[in-house]
């Protein structure tokens, strides 16, 4: 009985540690942007977090696809061929990063150098797999010359590192 209670306590404690709200405060990550961010645990078939759900419903990149549609595509398309084509790097703690970036000038804001960027993909360490989706539109002129797709990738790496997933 004591072992069972201890196991339950430890399980709740570890879940509470991962659910720390400061880990999921993305306001700094998306400052000056309208953004969608989704993190999905593929092993548990469970949503970990979704930032700005209404944005995740919007079709971006000239109306091609929404964040939710990108998540569903990745959930059903995880093949070795896809993995080979999307591999980018391995973190120092063993997480493999797979993904594709993209971006363009926002049509209605091209005269202000505002861009839309996205980065979709997944991370894997041993048998653990998480899918991520990020897209954003600049609301103010960025203070960098880096393209929007590369900025999206850097945001993902920052968030995943904060969550100990990269």
CATH number of the structural domain spanning residue 69:
3.40.710.10
The residue range of the domain holding 77 is: 21-162
Mark out the alpha helices in 20-66 (DSSP H runs).
53-57
- pLDDT for res 156: 98
Assign 82 to helix, strand or coil. helix
Number of domains into which the chain is organized: 1
Residue 42 structure tokens: 């593929």
Residue 2, in any domain of the structure: no
86 belongs to a structural domain: yes
Whether 6 is in a domain gets the answer no
- Cα 34 from Cα 79, distance rounded (Å): 31
In a domain, 84, yes or no: yes
Residue tagged 């996205």 (tokens): 118
pLDDT tens-digit profile, the chain (166 residues): 555 444 444 344 444 444 445 678 899 999 999 999 999 999 999 999 999 999 999 988 666 889 999 999 999 988 778 888 899 999 999 999 999 999 886 545 444 578 899 999 999 999 999 999 999 999 998 888 889 999 999 999 999 999 999 9
Classify residue 16: in a domain, yes or no: no
* Residue 7 within a domain: no
Residue 34 lies in a domain: yes
> Is 110 a member of any domain?
yes
Cα separation, 44 vs 142, in Å, equals: 37
Backbone phi, psi, residue 153, to 5°: -60, -45
20 φ/ψ angles, rounded to the nearest 5 degrees: -50, 125
């Amino acid at each position: 009985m004591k072992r069972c209670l201890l196991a339950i306590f430890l399980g709740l404690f570890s879940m509470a540690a991962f659910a720390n709200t400061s880990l999921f405060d993305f306001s700094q990550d998306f400052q000056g942007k309208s953004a969608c961010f989704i993190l999905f645990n593929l092993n548990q078939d469970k949503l970990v977090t979704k930032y700005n759900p209404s944005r995740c419903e919007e079709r971006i990149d000239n109306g091609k696809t929404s964040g939710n549609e990108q998540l569903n595509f990745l959930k059903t398309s995880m093949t070795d061929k896809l993995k080979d084509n999307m591999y980018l790097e391995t973190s120092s703690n063993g997480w493999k990063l797979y993904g594709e970036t993209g971006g363009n000038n926002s049509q209605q804001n091209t005269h202000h150098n505002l861009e839309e960027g996205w980065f979709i993909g997944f991370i894997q360490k041993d048998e653990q797999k998480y899918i991520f989706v990020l897209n954003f539109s600049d609301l103010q002129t960025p203070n960098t010359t880096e393209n929007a797709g590369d900025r999206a990738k850097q945001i993902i790496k920052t968030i995943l590192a904060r969550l100990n997933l990269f």
